[in-house]
Structure 1
Amino acid sequence: MGILDNIKNMIFNREPKDDSFMTDDEKELREYEQYYTPQSGVAEGTYSEFVVSDVFSITGRGTVVTGTVTGGVFRVGDEVLLVHGNNDGIPTTIVGIEQFRKICDSVSEGANAGFILKDVDRKQVSRNDIIKKK
């Protein structure tokens, strides 16, 4: 093996890297990326996904989930499934979307947002749950 072969092996080696210098958050993200592969739809609107980072309740408004849209577009009124653990999904509807205290009609991939969910109890949702369109 020559020097170029060694460099190619170093660049294209897919072996796990030493994670002893990583923070807990970076380790958690690496574990998450190992087991989770987002799907993508062929046509626009066929697949949308939101990863929950926090959950709380607002008196008079309902359960709010905050997180990131990892694929597609979500709109107010969309019927979605809340996937918690290994269940098939809890059907619900997005009744409101907010970004940094600004009310929105829709959010797309890459956006951080808060969804107000209809008829969902705070105890039914936790961090890293997935919300997807039906």
Structure 2
Amino acid sequence: MGILDNIKNMLFNREPKDNGFMTDDEKELREYEEYYTPQSGVAEGTYSEFVVSDVFSISGRGTVAVGTVTGGVFHAGDEVLIVHGNNDGIPTTIVSIEQFRKVCDSVSEGANAGFLLKDVDRKQISRNDIIKKK
């Protein structure tokens, strides 16, 4: 093995480092980090919720619900339900998602966004309605 191979091995070696100079707490933290990898937002396929703060109709495009994602992750193309009061929900699809006039593929918890909704009339959705994944 040449010098370059040794350097590559050192740079790309994924083996744990020598923990000889770590305190017991630091060692315990490293062991914990090996098994637990936090994720931003919520894992796919779990409950997602969006609270509507305002609704607009854009001629030629459709109805846009503006609000905040209070849980989970939403993607363009997701099939969702609009829940108003105690009804079962109106099924629709998120055609596109925008944040501050920029088109996004997805938004996660805490994000303010606008959802362009497929085949939804302005009168079917109002402030404080909940949009959730099916």
TM bin (shorter chain): 0.5 to 0.7
- Greater radius of gyration (CA): 2
Match of 1:81 in 2: 81
How far does the alpha carbon of each residue in 1:83-116 deviate from its partner, in whole angstroms, 9 at most, with x for none? 0111000000000100000000000000000000
Task: For residue 43 of structure 1, report the CA deviation from its aligned partner.
Answer: 5.2
How far does the alpha carbon of each residue in 1:11-65 deviate from its partner, in whole angstroms, 9 at most, with x for none? xxxxxxxxxxxxxxxxxxxxxxxxxxxxxxx954311000000001001110000
Equivalent residue letter for 1:92: T
Moved over 2 A (4+): 42-45
Match of 1:122 in 2: 122
CA contact (8 A) 2:43 2:72 kept: no
Match of 1:36 in 2: none
Equivalent residue letter for 1:107: V
Match of 1:101 in 2: 101
Equivalent residue letter for 2:128: N
What SS does structure 2 have at the residue aligned with 1:123?
helix
Cα distance in 1 for partners of 2:130, 2:90 equals 11
TM-score (norm 1): 0.67
Number of residue pairs the alignment of both structures matches: 93
Q: Sequence identity of aligned pairs in percent?
A: 89
Q: CA RMSD in A?
A: 1.2
Which runs of 5 or more residues in structure 1 are unaligned? 1-41
Match of 1:25 in 2: none
Cα distance in 2 for partners of 1:59, 1:97 equals 17
Match of 1:47 in 2: 47
Match of 2:57 in 1: 57
What SS does structure 2 have at the residue aligned with 1:93?
strand
Equivalent residue letter for 2:57: S
Which runs of 5 or more residues in structure 2 are unaligned? 1-41
What SS does structure 1 have at the residue aligned with 2:68?
strand
What SS does structure 2 have at the residue aligned with 1:57?
strand
Q: 1:85/1:44 Cα in 2 relative to 1: closer, same or farther (>3 Å)?
A: same
More off after superposition, 92-101 vs 43-52: 43-52
Cα distance in 2 for partners of 1:62, 1:124 equals 12
